[in-house]
C-alpha cells in the first residue's frame, strides 16, 4: 500500500520525487560499526588524505609484507573488513584501507558514486598495492578505476560480490521507493547532465575488458538479496581472467564475516 501511494504521488509531483531519489543516491547512510570493527581500526596507523572537498581517512596495518588494498562498498567503510584484516595480518600482509567520501570516519558532504570511483583510482596508484579485495559497489569503483588506468598491473583481485550495470543501481532505488517511471527518467537525465556521463556505459562487465588484472576471483551468494547473483555471472562471462564461485548461506553483508569465505579469499590473495 505504501508503495502504491508513493507511486501515485510521484506521478503527480515528479520533480519533488526526483530530488528525493537524487538525495538517496548522493548521501550515503552509514551503519554503526561493531565493537570488534572499531578495535581493528584502533590498531591501524591513520592518515588524512585530501580529496576534493573531503578529508579521507586512510588506514595501514603492518609496515612490511605483501601489500593488499581493501575497497569497501557504497554505504560501507573500512571497519567492515575487520574479520578479513585480522586474517591478513596473521599471514603478515601489509594492509591498506580507507573510508570513502562521506563514509565512515572521512568528512561528510554531498558525494556520488562517480567521486567514489575517482578516489579509488587515486588510492590504488598512491598505495601501489598489486593485490586488491573489494566488497559490493567497491567492485564497480575498482574495475572502473583500473579501466581508466591500464598502466597499473594488478596481480590478484578478489571481489566479494559485485554489481554490474549502474542502471541496475538506479532501478534498485526506484524499486525500493516505488516511484513512477518519469522520476527514473528525470533522475538519469540529471545524473548525466551533472556528471557528463552516459549511465548506460557504466558497466563492470565492460570495465573488466580493459582492466590490467592477471587473475581475479569473484565470490557471490546465490541468494544475495542486495545484488542478484546474475550480475556477477555476467561480469565473469565477460572477464577472461576471472573465476566465479557461487556460495550459499552468507548473504550480502555476512559474507564479510563468514570464516570459510574469508579463508578462501586469503588463500587466493597469498597464493
Looking at the fold, whether 110 and 196 belong to one and the same domain comes out as no
Looking at the fold, whether 53 and 131 belong to one and the same domain comes out as yes
Looking at the fold, whether 2 and 127 belong to one and the same domain comes out as no
pTM beyond 0.85, yes or no: yes
Q: Is residue 5 part of a domain?
A: yes
Mean pLDDT, residues 195-199: 82
Looking at the fold, whether 125 and 11 belong to one and the same domain comes out as no
Q: Answer yes or no: is pLDDT of 3 > 60.
A: yes
**Which candidate, 249, 201, 202, 241, places its Cα nearest to that of 218?**
241
Total Cβ atoms within 10 A of residue 224: 22
3-state secondary structure of 70: strand
Q: Answer yes or no: is pLDDT of 217 > 90.
A: yes
Phi-psi region of 97 (alpha: psi -120 to 50; beta: other; left: phi over 0): beta
Integer Cα distance of 217 and 114 in angstroms: 24
Own/partner long-range contacts of 169-173 (Cβ < 8 Å, ≥24 apart): 169/113, 169/137, 170/25, 170/199, 173/21, 173/24, 173/25
Integer Cα distance of 83 and 40 in angstroms: 9
Copy the grid coordinates of residue 264.
578462501
Q: Answer yes or no: is pLDDT of 173 > 80.
A: no
Q: Is residue 39 part of a domain?
A: no
Instruction: Give the tens place of pLDDT for each residue, 89-108.
Output: 999 999 999 999 999 999 99
Per-residue confidence (pLDDT) for residue 2, from 0 to 100:
66
Looking at the fold, whether 196 and 211 belong to one and the same domain comes out as no
Integer Cα distance of 23 and 2 in angstroms: 20
Percent of the chain with pLDDT over 90: 71
**Which candidate, 65, 61, 125, places its Cα nearest to that of 97?**
61
Looking at the fold, whether 180 and 149 belong to one and the same domain comes out as no
Q: Answer yes or no: is pLDDT of 154 > 70.
A: yes
Of the candidate ranges 23-32, 40-49, 231-240, 242-251, the one whose mean pLDDT is the lowest: 23-32
Do 235 and 205 contact (CB within 8 A), yes or no?
Answer: yes
Looking at the fold, whether 147 and 180 belong to one and the same domain comes out as no
Per-residue confidence (pLDDT) for residue 16, from 0 to 100:
80
Helices (H), 43-137: 82-90, 113-127
Q: Answer yes or no: is pLDDT of 59 > 90.
A: yes
Per-residue confidence (pLDDT) for residue 161, from 0 to 100:
97
Provide the number of structural domains found in the chain.
2
Q: Answer yes or no: is pLDDT of 208 > 80.
A: yes
- CA 235 to chain CA mean position, Å: 15
Q: Answer yes or no: is pLDDT of 177 > 60.
A: yes
- Write down the mean pLDDT value for the chain: 92
Last residue of a domain, one of 201, 220, 254: 201
Residue 109 lies in domain: 45-163+203-270
Copy the grid coordinates of residue 69.
588494498
Amino acid at each position: 500500500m505504501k508503495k502504491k501511494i508513493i507511486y501515485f504521488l510521484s506521478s503527480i509531483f515528479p520533480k519533488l520525487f526526483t530530488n528525493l531519489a537524487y538525495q538517496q543516491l548522493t548521501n550515503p547512510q552509514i551503519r554503526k560499526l561493531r565493537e570488534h570493527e572499531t578495535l581493528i581500526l584502533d590498531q591501524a596507523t591513520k592518515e588524512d588524505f585530501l580529496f576534493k572537498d573531503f578529508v579521507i581517512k586512510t588506514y595501514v596495518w603492518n609496515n612490511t609484507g605483501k601489500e593488499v588494498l581493501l575497497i569497501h562498498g557504497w554505504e560501507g567503510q573500512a571497519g567492515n573488513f575487520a574479520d578479513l584484516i585480522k586474517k591478513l595480518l596473521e599471514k603478515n600482509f601489509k594492509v591498506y584501507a580507507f573510508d570513502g567520501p562521506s563514509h565512515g570516519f572521512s568528512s561528510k558532504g554531498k558525494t556520488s558514486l562517480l567521486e567514489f570511483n575517482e578516489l579509488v583510482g587515486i588510492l590504488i596508484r598512491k598505495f601501489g598495492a598489486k593485490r586488491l579485495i573489494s566488497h559490493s559497489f567497491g567492485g564497480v569503483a575498482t574495475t572502473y578505476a583500473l579501466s581508466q588506468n591500464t598502466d597499473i598491473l594488478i596481480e590478484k583481485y578478489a571481489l566479494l560480490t559485485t554489481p554490474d550495470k549502474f542502471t541496475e543501481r538506479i532501478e534498485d532505488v526506484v524499486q525500493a521507493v516505488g516511484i513512477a517511471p518519469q522520476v527514473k527518467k528525470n533522475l538519469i537525465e540529471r545524473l548525466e547532465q551533472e556528471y557528463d556521463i552516459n549511465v548506460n556505459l557504466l558497466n563492470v562487465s565492460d570495465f573488466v575488458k580493459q582492466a590490467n588484472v592477471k587473475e581475479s576471483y569473484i565470490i557471490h551468494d546465490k541468494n544475495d538479496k542486495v545484488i542478484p547473483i546474475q550480475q556477477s555471472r555476467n561480469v565473469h562471462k565477460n572477464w577472461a581472467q576471472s573465476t566465479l564461485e557461487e556460495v550459499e548461506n552468507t548473504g550480502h553483508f555476512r559474507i564479510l564475516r563468514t570464516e570459510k569465505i574469508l579463508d578462501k579469499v586469503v588463500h587466493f590473495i597469498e597464493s
